[in-house]
Amino acid sequence: MQPRSRPTGSDVETEEERDIILAGGRVFTSAASGAPWAEALAIHGDRIAAVGSSHELRALFPDARRIDVEGRTVLPGLIDAHNHLLATGESLSSVDVRSPDVSSIEDVVDRLATAAEGTPSGRWIGAFGLDDAKFPRPVTRADLDRASAEHPISVNHVSGHGCVVNSAAMAVRGIDRDTPDPPGGQLGRDAAGEPDGLFLDAAMQLILPVVVDIGSHGPNFHTELSLEDSVDLTERACTAFLEAGLTTVCDPQVSRRELAAYREARRQGRLPVRTVCMPLSHQLEEFRAVGLAGPFGDDELSIGAMKFYADGSLISGTAAFTQPYGEHGEFAGLLFHSDDELEELLTAAHLDGWQVGVHVQGDRAMTTVVDILERAIRRAPRDHRHRLEHAGYPTPELIERIAALGLITVNQPNYLRDSGDEFLSRLGERAHGLEPLRAELDAGVAVVLSSDSDVTSYRPLETIRNAIARRTVSGAEIGADQALTLEEAIRAHTISAAYALRMEDRIGSIEPAKLADVTVVDGDLEQTPVEEIGSLGVWMTMVGGLVRHAMNPPGI
Ligand SMILES: [Zn+2]
């Protein structure tokens, strides 16, 4: 990485070589052994040189530049093991209609109308995060027509499985009542058979042309985007991540669209956050043809696990549970592959040496996946680090098996807050068993916290807050007995996340010889009431010893 924003003093040349001591607050190290808290750390070049008391480090590094964090909490650089980097960049350049800020159809229309005012006529307006399950009725084309008749508008559903558009968008794409439902997709229609503006699953491709054919390997959001725009959006997302304290992200659904963007961003020196890619499973054969399996790459950009989908999403009612859910048991679940096909894919990947990450929500899908992975691991045991993405509803029996097999759960407690009220009404008692992180830790499972940005907020301090608080937007408790402590939540967002990325020897804790990735929270984390943790800012973010974000240029 280029030293673009290294803090510099009067003499730039010597500053480059000068050691740094961070002191004056509390340092949580996430180290596996020894005291988890320290007073100070010293950085030499891109590495952590020592951890200890201010006094000791002063003696060891008498010429070091001292950065006084003034009572703030210092953490290992935060790692988001499930974060759609490029998609987040795209969302940052479109209209945010996520709840709770947007809580009614009128709010949606208002936000889009405001965006239309500042957008030249005829240009597309995109929006993301629509969760109209929270509204009295779904949003339709007629609602969006009130926002603008001159701009094509497309509003993506929060689940990623559907979008709603206005009449202008349908006209641009040539869609009318005679347009048939494409295979694997559906157009919403009113009582008279007219399209109501809703496009589900494969039908979304009628609106936004996708550039990668992923078959039935998951939801397809790989839409057309120039390389130049992809690099801009990637950098924009990275800047936001650094401001939020993230130093490493793992994109859990990478096609050639994403990998090309990240390679080019890196080549141009515009990828300041360490990036791990999980290629989507539709590419397994191509990787096999060239003999490639992750981990492959370096500490800045690499290929990690391969991503597979088992079932659908909790929010859109397509997670596969043993007992169908919904107020009327209407959600039976959706599976992307037959059990045999999934077994063939996962086994081939395991035997090829891949670490796999399987999207799995309901207990029915999870049982299938754990069965398959158990057979594959028995056949060829190794340090596999296989991941269960989301791992929504593991039963106590599944938790024992997950622990015994050494599977990692990659969780997103933001869902418990954002959609917890719907989960409580749709799943009843079972909602309290979603993401049972306490039970998983007690059983010995490697528990990882992540965001699934842009589906939920990428801000790790919000994720940490939600893992500790386990409260819904309305304030209801959801599985309160499964709450993590602050220290457990930080570990799950640092060293355990590094373990899931096979990078725990280089990042994830503040220990000598590790890369100097450091996040300084703008406050004292231990003294902050849980509900306020999510609104704390990040004072400084360092990646490899370089200051990549500073709230106020630190006192140096
Ligand atoms: Zn995801």
Task: Tell me how far apart the alpha carbons of residues 70 and 348 are, in angstroms, rounded to a whole number.
Answer: 53
Q: What is the pLDDT of residue 201?
A: 81
Compute the distance from residue 128 Cα to the ligand 1 centre, in Å.
15
Spacing, Cα 193 to ligand 1 middle (Å)? 34
Query: Is residue 511 within 8 Å of residue 51, measured between CB atoms?
Result: yes
What residues have CB less than 8 Å from 201, skipping those under 6 apart? 161, 162, 184, 185, 186, 219
Backbone angles phi, psi at 496, to 5 degrees: -70, -35
Q: How far is the CA of 42 from the centre of ligand 1 (A)?
A: 36
Q: Which range, of 71-75, 447-451, 548-552, averages the lowest pLDDT?
A: 548-552
The Å distance, Cα 229 to ligand 1 centre, comes to 22
Q: What does pLDDT average to over the chain? A: 93
For residue 139, the CA-to-ligand 1 centroid distance in Å is 24
Sorted by sequence, the CB contacts under 8 Å of residue 191 that are 6+ apart come out as none
83 CA to centre of ligand 1 in angstroms: 7
Per-residue pLDDT tens digits for 536-547 = 999 999 999 999
Q: How far apart are CA 389 and CA 356, in angstroms?
A: 10
Torsion of CA 77, 81, 86, 89, to 10 degrees: -50
pLDDT for 466 equals 98
pLDDT of residue 293: 96
Cβ atoms of 114 and 555 within 8 Å: the answer is no
For 276-302, what is the mean pLDDT? 97
Average pLDDT over residues 460-480: 97
195-208: string of b/e by CB count within 10 Å (b at 16+)?
bbbbbbbbbbbbbb
Measured in Å, residue 525 CA sits from the centre of ligand 1 at 28
Query: How many angstroms does the Cα of residue 451 sit away from the middle of ligand 1?
Result: 8
Confidence of residue 35 (pLDDT cuts 50, 70, 90): confident
Higher pLDDT pick, 234 / 312: 234
164 pLDDT more than 60: yes
pLDDT mean over 359-387: 97
**What confidence score (pLDDT) does residue 2 get?**
42
Q: What is the pLDDT of residues 171-192, one digit of tens each?
A: 999 999 999 998 778 899 999 9
Indicate whether 9 pLDDT > 60.
no
The stretch 218-240 carries a mean pLDDT of 91
Q: What is the mean pLDDT of residues 362-386?
A: 97
Q: Give residue 84 CA to ligand 1 midpoint distance, Å.
A: 6
The two most distant CA atoms of the chain are separated, in Å, by 81
Å from CA of 81 to ligand 1 middle: 10
Is the predicted pLDDT of residue 286 greater than 50, yes or no?
yes
Q: How confident is residue 7, by pLDDT bands cut at 50, 70 and 90? A: very low
Confidence of residue 318 (pLDDT cuts 50, 70, 90): confident
pLDDT at residue number 16: 56
Q: From ligand 1's centre to the CA of 327, what distance in Å?
A: 26
> What is the CA(115)–ligand 1 centre distance, in A?
27
Structure tokens at 340: 């045999």
DSSP symbol at 317: T
CA of 86 to the centre of ligand 1 (A): 12
Q: For a pLDDT cut of 70, what percent of the chain falls above it?
A: 96
Quick one: DSSP state of residue 202? G
With cut-offs at 50, 70 and 90, classify the pLDDT of residue 526.
Answer: very high
Lowest model confidence (mean pLDDT) among 78-92, 324-338, 376-390: 324-338
Q: What is the spatial distance between Cα 423 and Cα 129, in angstroms, rounded to a whole number?
A: 17
Average pLDDT over residues 376-400: 98
Q: What is the pLDDT of residue 330?
A: 82
What number is the average pLDDT over the span 255-276?
A: 98
DSSP letter assigned to residue 130: E
In sequence order, the 6+-apart residues with CB closer than 8 A to the CB of 430 are: 321, 323, 325, 393
CA of 175 to the centre of ligand 1 (A): 30
Return the pLDDT at 14: 45
Percent of the chain with pLDDT over 90: 80
Region 21-50: what's the mean pLDDT? 95
Of the ranges 2-6, 184-188, 197-201, which one carries the lowest mean pLDDT score? 2-6
Per-residue pLDDT of 148-161, as tens digits, reads: 999 999 999 988 77
User: 71 C-alpha to center of ligand 1: Å?
Assistant: 36
pLDDT of residue 8: 42
Residues 398 and 443 sit within 8 Å (Cβ to Cβ): no
Distances (CA, A) of 237 to 84, 222, 341, 383, 411: 10, 17, 35, 32, 21
Quickly state the pLDDT bin for 482 (edges 50, 70, 90).
very high
Local structure of residue 117 (DSSP, 8 states) = H
Per-residue confidence band for 553, with pLDDT thresholds at 50, 70 and 90: low
CB 28 within 8 A of CB 37: yes
Would you say residue 304 has pLDDT above 70? yes
**Does the pLDDT of residue 379 top 90, yes or no?**
yes
- Asked whether residue 345 carries a pLDDT value surpassing 80, the answer given is yes
Flag whether pLDDT at 469 surpasses 80: yes
How many A from CA of 456 to the centre of ligand 1? 10
**What would the mean pLDDT of 324-337 be, rounded to a whole number?**
85
State the Cα–Cα distance between residues 245 and 238, nearest whole angstrom: 10
* Residue 230 falls in which region: left (phi positive, over 0), alpha (psi -120 to 50) or beta: alpha
Q: What is the pTM of this model?
A: 0.89
Strands (E), 283-419: 296-297, 301-303, 306-309, 356-360, 387-390, 408-411
- The contacts of residue 39 (CB under 8 Å, 6+ apart) are 23, 26, 27, 52, 53, 54
Distance between Cα 50 and ligand 1 center (Å): 36
Q: Quick one: average pLDDT of 529-534?
A: 97
